[in-house]
Amino acid sequence: MSTFNAPRGTYDLLPPDSATYLAVREAMAAPLRRSGYGYVETPGFESVELFARGVGESTDIVTKEMYTLTTRGGDELALRPEGTASVLRAALEANLHRGGNLPVKLWYSGSYYRYERPQKGRYRHFSQVGAEAIGAEDPTLDAELIVLAYDAYRSLGLSGFRLLLNSLGDRTCRPGYRSVLQEFLRGLDLDEQTRARIEINPLRVLDDKRESVQRQLAGAPMMRDHLCEECKAFHEEVRALLTDAGVPFEDDPRLVRGLDYYTRTTFEFVHDGLGSQSAIGGGGRYDGLAEMIGGPQLPSVGWALGVDRTVLALEAEGVDLALPAVTEVYAVPLGEEARRRLFHLVTELRREGVAADLAYGGKGMKNAMKSANRSGARFALLLGERDLAEGVVQLKDLASGEQTALELAAAVAGVRDKLR
């Protein structure tokens, strides 16, 4: 036992559970790779100012949840609490938007950090797969990303999730709605901190999860009643495209999400089997974010899907993923010469794409076979002095107990045939 434990609100991924997380990440990434999205990786920390401008100074993420530090050189940095601002910063810095090849389509995967009150489904260190389509104001892109997320969840075998959809308008219609909403909110019985938020970003109040606040919001004006004609048409096109693609959704006029940069399309995938932490992924359009962080106007849309919560959703539905075998063949040598020959054979099997392992540490036959069974291998390769003299190796089916002698010189081909 170590003297140290993982920090509060974090977790370690260890076998065999880690295989499920890898499978979930792969399922989320596979539709993106098939749709022209290239992989991007950004640093685990960025300038505090990037998130203050991009995510929003009034958000809980910036005011309460960011891990910040000051370097020896005096730079103010933050562990990344989300992925979009970092990816957009990287794309702008590399001038990926120049040359007319828009949209720039990127996907990423990594760990993110927020100082939250730890509970099941809400951690201080969490894993996401994200995607961004940068530089095009096209409802087809919004629909594409939603469909790709939907297909990823379905490919995992999930069925108990719902898609919530809303539009938050744009710089043309949102100012008028903002004024109407502020007027309504100022008449409510709210605490001082929430009242301050009304003046900075009143839409944040709609996202307040406290029951005492939600009760008072029953008659709040909705953005959908204040959309300009362009935003209405854009949103209706997204809805029509989703319907054509066979993706069911629910209109949710109260859906805001926790980031300030969203415009127009906003969506969230929720799973009712997860209790209060029901969101398993979401995103939306952020047409003004590039300008907020000092770049040109680049209308964009993206999402992030939570790996941790998706695993919890799979558990809630009792879905067992078909995971690739960690070990297909387990080699058991009896003696030094057998160990050398099996090491060579295992190396060749691995080079041929077979998942193979070896009994290390001079284990006796009994203990080695226990390890073979624990490994989940389908076959064991047994090699002793008599086998060496005869130029064969024994291939044992660990399920049936059937044993076959293979010529050592042709053992790799023989194992591959048996695995087929």
Query: What is the side-by-side strand order in the sheet with 356-358?
Result: 356-358, 329-333, 379-383, 392-397, 403-407
**Coil vs helix vs strand at 263:** strand
**Is 236 annotated as ligand-binding?**
no
Three-state DSSP class for 390? helix
Same domain, 344 and 403: yes
CATH code assigned at 124: 3.30.930.10
For residues 151 and 93, membership in a common domain is answered with yes
Q: Is residue 261 part of a domain?
A: yes
Domain boundary among 263, 293, 317: 317
Residue 5 lies in a domain: no
132 is in an annotated binding site: yes
The span from the CA of 78 to the CA of 255, in Å, is: 27
Q: Which of 283, 317, 351 lies at the terminal end of a domain, its last residue? A: 317
- Please check if 262 is assigned to a binding site: yes
User: Does 192 reside within a domain?
Assistant: no
Task: Supply φ then ψ for residue 236, to 5 degrees.
Answer: -65, -35
The reply to whether 334 and 309 lie within a common domain is no
Domain enclosing residue 393, as ranges: 329-419
One domain, residues 365 and 311:
no
Q: Consult the annotation and say whether 128 binds a ligand.
A: yes
pLDDT single digits (tens) 271-305: 998 887 799 999 999 999 999 999 999 999 999 99
- Assigned domain for 310 exists: yes
- 280 and 379 in a single domain? The answer is no
Residue pair 291/302 in contact (Cβ under 8 Å)? The answer is no
Which of the residues in the chain have pLDDT under 50?
none
Does residue 114 sit in the same domain as residue 53? yes
pLDDT score for 258: 63
- The answer for residues whose C-beta is within 8 angstroms of residue 374's C-beta and 6 or more apart is none
Look up the CATH number of the domain holding residue 341.
Answer: 3.40.50.800
Q: Do the domain assignments include residue 285?
A: yes
Tell whether 313 is covered by a domain: yes
The pLDDT value recorded for residue 389 is: 93
Q: Is 83 annotated as a binding residue?
A: yes
CA nearest 304: which of 134, 148, 136, 118? 148
Considering the domain architecture, whether residues 290 and 355 belong to the same structural domain is answered as no
pTM of the predicted structure, to 2 decimals: 0.90
Do 333 and 313 reside in the same domain of the chain? no
On whether both 281 and 368 belong to a single domain, the answer is no
Flag whether 12 is in a domain.
Answer: no
Q: Quick count: other Cβ atoms within 10 Å of Cβ 355?
A: 18
Give me the residues paired with residue 406 across strands.
393
- Rounded distance, CA 364 to CA 172, Å? 76
Q: 387: number of CA atoms within 13 Å, CB side?
A: 24
Q: How many domains does the chain have?
A: 2
One domain, residues 301 and 357: no
Pair 381, 304 in one domain: no
Return the bridge partners of 287, or none: none
Could you give phi then psi for residue 276, rounded to 5 degrees?
-70, -30
Q: What percent of the chain has pLDDT over 90?
A: 72
Question: Computed from CA positions of residues 286, 287, 288, 294, in that sequence, does the dihedral angle turn out positive or negative?
Answer: positive
Co-location of 259 and 288 in the same domain: yes
257 marked ligand binding residue: yes
Asked whether residue 23 is assigned to any structural domain, the reply reads yes
Among candidate residues 252, 283, 317, the one where a domain is terminated: 317
